[in-house]
A and B are shown apart, each in its own frame.
Chain A
Amino acid sequence: MSQVQAVPASPLKQRWLKWRFHLNILLILIPLGFMPKYFADARLFRGEAGLGANVINDIQVGPYTLDLAEMRDEPPRADGPAGHFKVFNASLCKACVNGVKAAYLRIGKPRSLRAAGTIFFGAPYNMGTSLPIPPRTKPDAQVWITLEGWDGSMHQASVPLAKASPATVAWLEKQGGKK
């Protein structure tokens, strides 16, 4: 005759055995809470929610026009030792798409085409770039857009940083131009 005896389970084990099924349901429910943010992000990245925040429409750059917007209405994000960056989106006008080879963004007027700033990448109707924000940027600085045409031409225009990204200007003022 076998002498099997049920080992008395500890209270903790008993609770685990009793509730583990319900815990699994909870684990399914947790991701649901993140769904609204996920879908909002997906809409933003696909461009269905527009270009971004603080859109400036129809900026005339030479013969071309483009729309500029910051990705999110928020201060620049730190990227380790490389400094702080701000993501901007832009959209070229339908007629410009074939003429424009490259679009650049820079704080302050570029010294040359070589140093025109950071390049936009992606589809011409929804391009993106991350713009470095030097810590000593003046709050009244201008954001310069440089368009390089396939014909070798270069066209430039500027918009005030305060208009393109009020959150960045607020962040700069809070920093007080230090560092």
Chain B
Amino acid sequence: MKHLMRTFALPLLVLAAGPALAHNPMCECEELPGAQVKCTGGFSDGSGAPGVTLDVIGYDEQVLVGGKLGDDSTLTFKRPDGEFYVLFDAGPGHVVEVDYADIAQP
């Protein structure tokens, strides 16, 4: 037992010291059939973002759709007419903007 512990002590310690992960916010949107848009939010360390604010804002700064991401970190809404952008807002300075031109049409 003691021998086993000695053998594995170093590898275990190396594994336990997890690398310092950045967690940059990210948001991806795709268009679904029926003029619906589905946006998925999250962080680059792999964690989801349930409950985070996601607003759809027109180019005139009017909030068209205000919502929060569901338990699966997604929000589906009807695609507004005209020019807009999606703002994934996880707090000041932790935002992602997705322009309507970047939302792929099916």
Interface residues of A (CB under 8 A from B): 79-83, 85, 102, 104, 111-112, 114-121, 129-130, 132
Contact = CB atoms under 8 A, between A and B. Distances in A.
A115 B95 contact: yes
13 contacts: A81-B44, A82-B24, A82-B25, A82-B43, A82-B44, A102-B93, A111-B57, A111-B97, A114-B89, A117-B93, A118-B93, A129-B93, A132-B96
B26 A116 contact: no
A82 B93 contact: no
B95 A79 contact: no
A79 B22 contact: yes
Contacts of A118: 93-94
Chain B interface size, as a band, is 10 to 19
A101 B44 CA distance: 27
A79 B44 contact: yes
Interface of B: 22, 24-26, 28, 43-44, 57, 61, 85, 87, 89, 92-97
Contacts of B93: 102, 104, 116-121, 129
Contact of A112 (B43, B61, B94): B61
Chain A contact surface mostly: mixed
Contacts of A121: 93
Contacts of B44: 79-82
A102 B92 contact: yes
Given A85-B22, A111-B57, A117-B95, 14 more contacts: A79-B44, A80-B44, A82-B25, A83-B24, A111-B85, A114-B95, A115-B87, A118-B93, A118-B94, A119-B92, A119-B93, A129-B93, A130-B24, A132-B24
Contacts of B61: 111-112
A115 B63 CA distance: 13
A110 to B, nearest CB: 9
Contact of A114 (B22, B24, B26, B87): B87
3 tightest A-B CB contacts, nearest first:
A119-B93, A82-B44, A82-B26
B24 A85 contact: yes
Nearest to B25: A82
B22 A130 contact: yes
Nearest to A104: B93
A121 B43 CA distance: 18
A23 B85 CA distance: 60
A83 B26 contact: yes
A129 B85 CA distance: 23
